[in-house]
Amino acid sequence: MKNILIIHTGGTISMLEDKQTGEVSTTAKHPLTDLSYYFTSYANVEEIIEFSLPSPHITPKHMLQLAEKINEISSEYDGIVVTHGTDTLEETAYFLELTVNTTIPVIITGAMRSSNEIGSDALYNLISSLRVAIDDEASGKGVLVVMNDEIHSAVNVTKTSTSNVATFQSPQYGPLGIITKESVIFHHTILSRYSHPVTQITKNVFLLKAYAGMDQQILEALYAGKPDGLVVEGLGQGNLPKNTVTSIQKFIADNIPVVLVSRCYQGIVQPTYAYEGGGKQLKEDGVILTNGLTGPKARIKLLIALEKTNDHNLIRDMFEKEK
Ligand code: ASP
């Protein structure tokens, strides 16, 4: 039997519902530990509680701690399953994808309904994750998000619904595989993976969503905060309202990289339009265009990139050449 480590970090999968008040909160003991006899037919399982945090409390520093933990102990196990709150799960998954150095399966999962709620997906998603973690085909595929009978790449997956158990989707390319009652089936694979190990996370990167009529006011407020980098979720193929351009140029002149993603949930940004604020002009001004990442993931990547270099050309390569 394979040896699998489960690392709990908190979130709804680690919580119980108070039947009087309906409030969902963490308990001293992990609610799924008592059900661990379900795991024994799949693998030898060890469990540790790294954090007990709702995922809105998870920061990039927690993500780094988790990555370091996995890098430290991965040679002792055949697979690792991380349980995590779903709100920021995609950011942690992508952080691990960029910083964990192992070929054993690393699965991250969560739940939309806590263990004692009707229709809970907590134990179900954990067992599905164990089944993927012991599957030989899961090796070398990068960090995988397993939820609701689907296997997603950490690069593409995003939370799409506030409450539906089918919340995790990969709108651009779809899931990599499915989990049926009998088997784990991979039907896609990712062609390239990128590794950017870091030993610290010290930078401050803001994320801003563009909107019709946006002007310099909010950008000037962000500039006053002296960030190390800025990610903007632009419009369509990567355009911004024209009254933002002068402020964007100010960031770049001050050596603060500006990374542009799209607020559309599918497609990649491209330098198509040359009008004021159009992607072509923004690129000429030094804005870095991305290859299909969401805003929160581009922010994670920029945080990591800035630990390695301040050279905008190198940062540009990390965003424009890596798919
Ligand atoms: N708010 C919770 C969290 O992310 C939601 C969940 O876990 O599903 O911690």
pLDDT digits (tens, 9 = 90+) for 300-316: 999 999 999 999 999 99
203 has a pLDDT exceeding 90? yes
pLDDT value of residue 52:
94
Indicate which atom in ligand 1 lies nearest the CA of residue 84: 7
Site to probe by mutation for ligand 1, drawn from 53, 55, 108 as the one with most ligand atoms within 8 Å of Cβ, is: 55
Atom 7, ligand 1: residue with shortest CA distance = 85
Q: Are strands 15-17 and 79-83 parallel, antiparallel or unpaired?
A: unpaired
CA of 274 to the centre of ligand 1 (A): 42
Average pLDDT of the chain? Answer: 96
Compute the distance between CA of residue 83 and CA of residue 14 in angstroms, rounded to an integer.
8
29 has a pLDDT exceeding 80? no
Which pLDDT band, with edges at 50, 70 and 90, does 6 fall under? Answer: very high
pLDDT value of residue 57:
98
Compute the distance between CA of residue 97 and CA of residue 223 in angstroms, rounded to an integer.
30
87 lines ligand 1 (CB under 6 A): yes
Please, what are the domains in the chain? Answer: 3-186 (3.40.50.1170), 205-320 (3.40.50.40)
CA-closest candidate to residue 293, choices 154, 142, 191: 154
Residue 322 CB burial class (10 angstroms; 0-12, 13-18, ≥19): middle
Compute the distance between CA of residue 151 and CA of residue 186 in angstroms, rounded to an integer.
8
The answer to whether the beta carbons of residues 172 and 156 sit under 8 Å apart is: yes
Spatial strand order of the sheet with 229-234 comes to 205-209, 229-234, 258-262, 288-289
Q: Which helix (H) or strand (E) holds 72?
A: helix 60-73
54 lines ligand 1 (CB under 6 A): yes
Beta-carbon count within 10 A of 71 CB: 15
85 lines ligand 1 (CB under 6 A): yes
Residue 116 CB burial class (10 angstroms; 0-12, 13-18, ≥19): middle
92 has a pLDDT exceeding 90? yes
pLDDT value of residue 19:
85
Report percent pLDDT > 70 for the chain. Answer: 100
25 has a pLDDT exceeding 90? no
CA of 12 to the centre of ligand 1 (A): 5
CA-closest candidate to residue 9, choices 74, 56, 43: 56
Query: What are the tens digits of pLDDT across the range 213-259?
Result: 999 999 999 999 999 999 999 999 999 999 999 999 999 999 999 99
pTM score: 0.96
28 has a pLDDT exceeding 80? no
The answer to whether the beta carbons of residues 231 and 299 sit under 8 Å apart is: yes
12 lines ligand 1 (CB under 6 A): yes
Query: What are the tens digits of pLDDT across the range 142-165?
Result: 999 999 999 999 999 999 999 999
Task: For residue 12, indicate whether it is catalytic.
Answer: yes
